[in-house]
Amino acid sequence: MRKIIAAVALSTLALSAFAADNIVKLSVDENGFNPKQLNVTAGQDFVIEVQNGSKKAIEFESKPLRVEKVIAAGKTVQLKVKALKAGSYKFVNEFNEDKVKGEIVAK
């Protein structure tokens, strides 16, 4: 029984460390996304942590990733993204998509 508990504990720690290593941070304010380009490793799941520092809600949208999320002013959310093939994937603030754009580059 102790071996099972130890194995579960180690597995949980390993998963936590894996998730922490695969978080990319993105902030948005009235001037747009920062950084405008996120670099990720192709073939690995990852999380985009989006911090909305603007005074209005935004809608993070990436049609190629099939991700869409409204984020209230001053809030931070984490968006889980499945492993990508190498390439470039656009995202926007749909509420201001002509000006607020960015991209994810998977290498």
- Predicted model pTM: 0.78
Contacts of 95 (CB under 8 A, 6+ apart): 56, 57, 58, 59
Within 13 Å, how many C-alpha atoms sit on residue 29's CB side? 4
Question: What is the per-residue pLDDT across 6-39, written as a single tens digit (0 to 9) for each?
Answer: 444 545 554 444 455 799 999 999 889 999 999 9
Question: What is the per-residue pLDDT across 34-84, written as a single tens digit (0 to 9) for each?
Answer: 999 999 999 999 999 999 999 999 999 999 999 999 999 999 999 999 999
**Strand-pair partners of 48:** 24, 79
Tell which residue, 73, 76, 46, 45, has the closest CA to residue 57.
73
Query: For the chain, which domains are there?
Result: 24-106 (2.60.40.420)
Give, for 28, the enclosing helix (H) or strand (E). strand 23-29
Grouping H, G, I as helix, E, B as strand and the rest as coil, residue 54 is coil
CB 49 within 8 A of CB 78: yes
